[in-house]
Structure 1
Amino acid sequence: MTLTVVINGGDCGTVTLAKQVWVGVPKFNSLIPIGNQNGYSPEEPSVSIGMNGEGCNQIRMKVLFDADALLEYQWEKFTTDVAWSVNTSSGNILISPQCNTNFSFRVRVRNSCGWSAWQQFEFPLTRCTIACDIPADPSPIVGANFLVSPNPVTSGLVTIGVKADAPWFLIPETNDPLNTSHNTGGNQLLERIRVNMSIFNSLGILVQQYTNLLVHPTPAQINISNLPSGSYIIIFEYFGQTESYTIIKS
């Protein structure tokens, strides 16, 4: 709120003084860079290369809350394999990655009125010359019922196919010579297969969802190019049955 005082000096004129005063618990304002970093966009700044051809840039930021007389910050990091430095008396944060990965954390702050709401952040760290835990061979993931490829995902496109012996979808062989379905031990796949599919990020947040996705006879292709680099869990659901796969987007 704004407090305004008007001082009437008579013949000497009038002076108006205004002061912004915060009432209540703190409220999140922004996350800003410190120094010459232009935000925490992966493109800023350029990656520093070490003697061995590898390197990472540290990221310095500050979390701002609207309130006066902040007493204490509370931090919680979800990405446990990335080093950071924070302070309970300030909003400064220093992130020191060793490789490219998704990074997530949350923070809240307290004043004399109480704690603010938690503010959560998630963004890709791509200021290193190497990525974290990405397999060298983009091979398909083979599960009980599905084929998911490639892994890691480099183009943003993921192909979902059904295994020839997928137990979810096998029905007794019809012995129809005109039936071109895959035959496995006297059984055959359903001619058309649709499933529900959900994609979750490393925090368990739903990021994409598909209903009645056709995956057979033609494999489905989905686009995840809009998702940040990192690890994702794909969950298939078919008449109450679920099956999960983990993919890496590089």
Structure 2
Amino acid sequence: MPDLPAQPSPTPTPAPDPWAGLQAFTAARIALGRSGTSVPLGAALAFKLAHAHARDAVYSQLNTSELLATIPSLQLPTLQVRSRAQNRQEYLQRPDWGRQLSEESRAQLREQARGSCDVAIILADGLSATAINDHAGPLLGLLVPLLRQAGFQLGPIMLAEQARVAIGDEIGQLLGARLTLVLIGERPGLSAPHSLGAYFTYGPRPGLTDEARNCVSNIRPEGLPYPAAATKLFYLVQEALRRQLSGVGLKDQSDLLAA
């Protein structure tokens, strides 16, 4: 009888990757697999797409028409201002200019500011205007009613272009605000190109440094959801105004109240 051809050995089933289950809990790039000495093509292309989204976010612009259509539902006036940086190139090359109002905006606030307020809210494009466009409206829709119910007097909402966090110090001083709340697009990462940060400062005035501020970051549906962010900010703003301080001297103890 002729010899029968040898049967190929069955391909062994690869062992499951113990990291794969963690992919459901994080947007971090884990358990991507391997193709030779590199990652698979799909993972490499996804990385390049995320990098493109991050670059686009840096150069995104405030959708002022949509924001101005949304804010009236909060029953607050709005003002538009700019920093000293006239364009995105200047903004990226001169961070100090992004912290200062332009002469025109400074004069505008001096003319229109009347009296004082407890909280001045500034929407700043920062390094991702997309974050403001996507998240500022839903967050303020929850936070502003809480501030009103607590009896705080709110100033006009400022739309600040080519702006960094510290621009709120000059705005707050010109408005006579006890506290400024700056909502700003955070530096985009490769998993979150549209993350919103909220910085507040008691007693705003030019020359303050970051130790005088508090920050609640990663506000977005995939990070810190709007209701949780609004509740946390409301607690911290109340405490800052009650204790007349912000920054390193103010700690978030809201979890202790719930315990």
TM over 0.5, yes or no?
Answer: no
Name which one, 1 or 2, has greater alpha-carbon Rg.
Answer: 1
> TM-score scaled by structure 2?
0.20
